[in-house]
């Protein structure tokens, strides 16, 4: 990046995203647990919701670090770069579909329709 200020602003914005999402999810889960759960169960329901929300945060770094020790530090970035190619290769566009949209402009050729 050519400007340090821009790099700092981008880093701060990226860093603020996950805590904001977790706060929103936990607030919604706890509110629902307090309103909808009968009797003595709100504590268990809230604990279960916390487990569901935070388990990926615990397992993610471990899963990312696991291949580094036996294979070295180059494998995870290469695997992350190649991973999007797997679904792209598994679902090629058929010739009939390409012909159907060839006569229209790119803006008119929405694959969703």
Taking 60 as the threshold, does the pLDDT of residue 3 lie above it? yes
Burial class (CB in 10 A: 0-12, 13-18, 19+), 63: exposed
Cβ neighbors of 67 (< 8 A, separation 6 or more) are: 75, 76, 79
Distances, alpha carbon 17 to alpha carbons 1, 11, 14, 78, in Å: 21, 10, 5, 25
Of the pLDDT bands very low, low, confident and very high (cuts 50, 70, 90), residue 106 is low
CB contact set of 22 (below 8 Å; sequence gap of 6+): 53
Q: What is the pLDDT of residues 39-75, one digit of tens each?
A: 888 888 888 888 887 888 888 888 877 777 777 777 7
pLDDT at residue 2 greater than cutoff 60: yes
For residue 38, pLDDT over 80 is answered with yes
């Amino acid at each position: 990046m050519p400007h340090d200020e821009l790099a700092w602003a981008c880093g701060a914005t990226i860093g603020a995203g996950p805590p904001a999402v977790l706060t929103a999810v936990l607030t919604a889960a706890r509110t629902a647990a307090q309103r909808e759960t009968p009797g003595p169960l709100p504590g268990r329901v809230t604990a279960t919701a916390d487990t569901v929300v935070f388990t990926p945060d615990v397992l993610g770094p471990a899963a990312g670090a696991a291949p580094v020790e036996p294979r070295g530090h180059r494998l995870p970035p290469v695997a992350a770069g190649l991973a999007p190619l797997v679904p792209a290769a598994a679902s090629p566009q058929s010739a009939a579909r390409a012909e159907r949209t060839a006569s229209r402009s790119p803006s008119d050729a929405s694959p969703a329709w």
